[in-house]
C-alpha cells in the first residue's frame, strides 16, 4: 500500500474488503483502491479509481466512504470550485458497480476557504468536515451540517458544538457507527495527534482525550483516523520522525506520510 511518496486518508468498506486511500505515486494526489476477498486475506495491488472520480489536473484527497459503500466523499482542488479546496461526492448503484462522475457539494458547504474530509454519519443525514483558510493553518475547525433524509439538501453548516474545537487546528473527523464517538486530529498538544471525544445524548461532545502511545508517537504527525464498522480497527496516516530530526510538521514530513492500522486489544 505504501510508496516512497505521500500515501494517506485511508477509508475501508464495512466488511473491510475495500481500502480507499490517496496517493501521490502518480505525480499528483489521486484516489486509489485495493481489494481483498475477505477480511483475513492480503490486500491486492492498489489501482487508480479512474477519471470519473479523479481530476487529471488537480489533487483529490481527504476521502471518506459511506457506511453502505455507495457514496465516496472527498476534497479536490480541481477547477470550477468555490475556493482553495471543495467537497465532492461520487456515487454508485451497488458495491459491484463502478463509481459515477463526482459532483461538487455546492455553495452551501463550500466557500472560498479550504474544506476537506467530508465525513458522513452512518444514517447519511449528518456530514462533518473541516474548514480553514489554508490546508495547514491553525484556524482549522470541524463543522457539521445535516439534512432531513439521505439525498436531501444540506443545511448551512455550523462549527461543531462542544469541546472538540480549540484554538489550535482540528480536522479529519471520523464518527463511530453509533454516533457516540468522534476520532479526529488536533494540534492542541503541540504536535498533530489523534484524539477522541464521546457523547451519550444531544449534539454536544465531551472533553476530548488523546489516544495512547500505541497510536501517537512523540514527534510524529498522526492524522486522518477512520474507525471501522465494528469499531475493532482504526486506520490512519502518520509520519514518524527520522533520527536526529525535529518534530514532524505538514511542511517537513508530508511526503513521508504512510498508511497504518491499529487493532483493538479488547472488544465489546
Q: Model confidence over 219-247: pLDDT tens digits?
A: 899 999 999 999 999 999 999 887 667 78
**What Å distances lie between residue 268 and 174, 180, 262, CA to CA?**
19, 15, 16
What dihedral do alpha carbons 52, 58, 64, 70 form, nearest 10°? -10
Mark 212-234 as b/e (b = at least 16 C-beta within 10 Å): eeebbbeebbbbbbbbbeeebbb
49 vs 151, more confident? 49
CA 151/CA 104 separation, integer angstroms: 14
Burial 50-84 (b: 16+ CB within 10 A, else e): eeebbbeebbbbbbbbbbebbbbbbbbbbeebbeb
Q: Distance (Å, rounded) from C-alpha 259 to C-alpha 27? A: 18
Percent of the chain with pLDDT over 90: 85
Q: What is the pLDDT of residue 60?
A: 98
Give me the mean pLDDT over the 180-199 stretch.
Answer: 95
What are the residue boundaries of the structural domains of the chain, listed by start? 7-263
Mean pLDDT, residues 207-213 taken together: 95
Residues 6+ away with beta carbon under 8 Å from 4: none
- What integer best gives the mean pLDDT of the chain? 94
Tell me the pLDDT tens digit for each residue of 64-73.
Answer: 999 999 999 9
The mean pLDDT of 34-47, rounded to a whole number, is 96
Question: Is this model's pTM higher than 0.85 or not?
Answer: yes
Closest by CA to 181, choosing from 143, 228, 139, 213, is 228
Which whole number is the average pLDDT over 49-56?
97
CATH architecture of residue range(s) 7-263: 6 Propeller (2.120)
Q: How far apart are the first and last CA of the chain?
A: 30
- Give me the pLDDT at residue 166, please: 94
**pLDDT at 268 > cutoff 80:** no
| Nearest partner of 115 among 77, 68, 145, judged by Cα | 77
How wide is the angle at C-alpha 2 spanned by C-alphas 211 and 251, nearest 5°?
Answer: 65
Amino acid at each position: 500500500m505504501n510508496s516512497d511518496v505521500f500515501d494517506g486518508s485511508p477509508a475501508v468498506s464495512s466488511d473491510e474488503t475495500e481500502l480507499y486511500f490517496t496517493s501521490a505515486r502518480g505525480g499528483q494526489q489521486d484516489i486509489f483502491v485495493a481489494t481483498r476477498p475477505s477480511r483475513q486475506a492480503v490486500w491486492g495491488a492498489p489501482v487508480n479509481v479512474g477519471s470519473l472520480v479523479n481530476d487529471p489536473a488537480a489533487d483529490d484527497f481527504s476521502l471518506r466512504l459511506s457506511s453502505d459503500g455507495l457514496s465516496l466523499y472527498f476534497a479536490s482542488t480541481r477547477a470550477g470550485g468555490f475556493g482553495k479546496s471543495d467537497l465532492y461526492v461520487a456515487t454508485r448503484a451497488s458495491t459491484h458497480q463502478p463509481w459515477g462522475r463526482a459532483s461538487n457539494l455546492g455553495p452551501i458547504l463550500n466557500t472560498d476557504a479550504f474544506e476537506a474530509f467530508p465525513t458522513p454519519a452512518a444514517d447519511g443525514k449528518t456530514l462533518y468536515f473541516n474548514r480553514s483558510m489554508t490546508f495547514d493553518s491553525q484556524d482549522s475547525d470541524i463543522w457539521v451540517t445535516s439534512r432531513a433524509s439521505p439525498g436531501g439538501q444540506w443545511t448551512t453548516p455550523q462549527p461543531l458544538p462542544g469541546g472538540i474545537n480549540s484554538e489550535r487546528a482540528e480536522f479529519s473527523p471520523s464518527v463511530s457507527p453509533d454516533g457516540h464517538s468522534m476520532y479526529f486530529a488536533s494540534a492542541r498538544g503541540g504536535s498533530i495527534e489523534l484524539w477522541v471525544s464521546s457523547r451519550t445524548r444531544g449534539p454536544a461532545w465531551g472533553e476530548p482525550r488523546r489516544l495512547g502511545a500505541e497510536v501517537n508517537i512523540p514527534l510524529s504527525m498522526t492524522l486522518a483516523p477512520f474507525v471501522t464498522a465494528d469499531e475493532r480497527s482504526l486506520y490512519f496516516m502518520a509520519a514518524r520522525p527520522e533520527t536526529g530530526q525535529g518534530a514532524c510538521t505538514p511542511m517537513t514530513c508530508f511526503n513521508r506520510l504512510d498508511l497504518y492500522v491499529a487493532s483493538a486489544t479488547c472488544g465489546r
